[in-house]
Amino acid sequence: MNIPLIINLTLQDFRDRYAGSIFGIVWALISPIVMIVVYLMVFTEIMGSRLAGSSNLSSFSIFLISGLLPWLAFMSTVLRTSSSFLDKKSIITKIRVNLSFFFCHISLSEFLTLMVSISAFTLIYIFFLHEQLSISLFVNLFCLLLVQQIFAYSIGVIFGVVNVFYRDVREFLSIFMNIWFWMTPIVWVPSIAPQWLQNFQSGLNPYFWFLEEYRGIFLYGNESRFEKILFLALASSLVFATSVFFVKYLEKEIRDNL
């Protein structure tokens, strides 16, 4: 793994995303803000959504934003990584690169964009709600977001390998991520869901495990237990190791089919 190369690719990807635009990096704030406003209008003004035991709009806003911003980075990382083998086939077929790590700049670039959005949200959270987040909570949040991006990258690599052999996977994955989004209580409150869906969240939905921690930090000021972060890190590492094995095992076939 060439760390300087990965850093350069990460910064290049981050710059290229906003190169030539008038607002530049400000788009990292504008896009999620517009989406959040739309969801807030639909779920609070039209559907009247509120957190249980609270009629306060700000509570639901925090509930929504603390889940939606990380999800956008997660989804973008999975989708972009899954198509990278085909998008970069001109490089892969000519240069001997480590396929397991070559695309991790995507995850890191999305992580940088996410940190910009989260930082802006945190400043607004502190300024308007007069709430304080301790340094330990920031460290918790940083670690959780980083582990999330490792998890997202690993999923993207696995689907990216399959996509080399079955080109319909890209379209299937887009549909699957949309279903996953609506099956996860990101824009809806868990208490309104039927019991089977609530059971699904805690037992079979890995993103819900991250979501609980984000909401615990911003809604309740709870620090994630070390055991929970360690569990998420180990689970993400296991998925990452699986993706590396997958690439190594099929590397010759991958290069032949590009």
Max Cα-Cα span within the chain: 60
pLDDT at 52 over 70: no
Q: Higher-confidence residue: 243 or 62?
A: 243
Q: What angle do CA 148, 141, 34 make, to 5 degrees?
A: 80
Residue 106 phi, psi (nearest 5):
-65, -50
Report the distance separating Cα 3 and Cα 143, nearest Å: 20
What are the structure tokens assigned to 64, written together? 């929504």
User: What integer is the mean pLDDT of 131-156?
Assistant: 88
- Burial grade of 209 (CB within 10 A; 0-12, 13-18, 19 or more): middle
pLDDT at 55 over 60: no
> Model confidence over 139-150: pLDDT tens digits?
888 999 999 999
Burial of 93 (0-12, 13-18, 19+ CB in 10 A): exposed
Which range is most confident: 59-68, 98-107, 193-202? Answer: 98-107
In the predicted model, what is the mean pLDDT of residues 73-83?
95
What span, in angstroms and rounded, lies between the C-alpha atoms of 60 and 27?
A: 24
- For the chain, what are the domain ranges? 3-257
Q: Name the pTM for this structure.
A: 0.87
178-182 contacts: CB < 8 A, separation 24 or more? 180/205, 180/207, 181/71, 181/75
The predicted pLDDT at position 77 comes to 96
Question: What number is the average pLDDT over the span 103-114?
Answer: 90
% of the chain residues with pLDDT over 70: 85
Name residues whose C-beta falls within 8 Å of residue 207's C-beta, 6 or more positions apart in sequence. Answer: 71, 74, 180, 184
The pLDDT of residue 50: 57
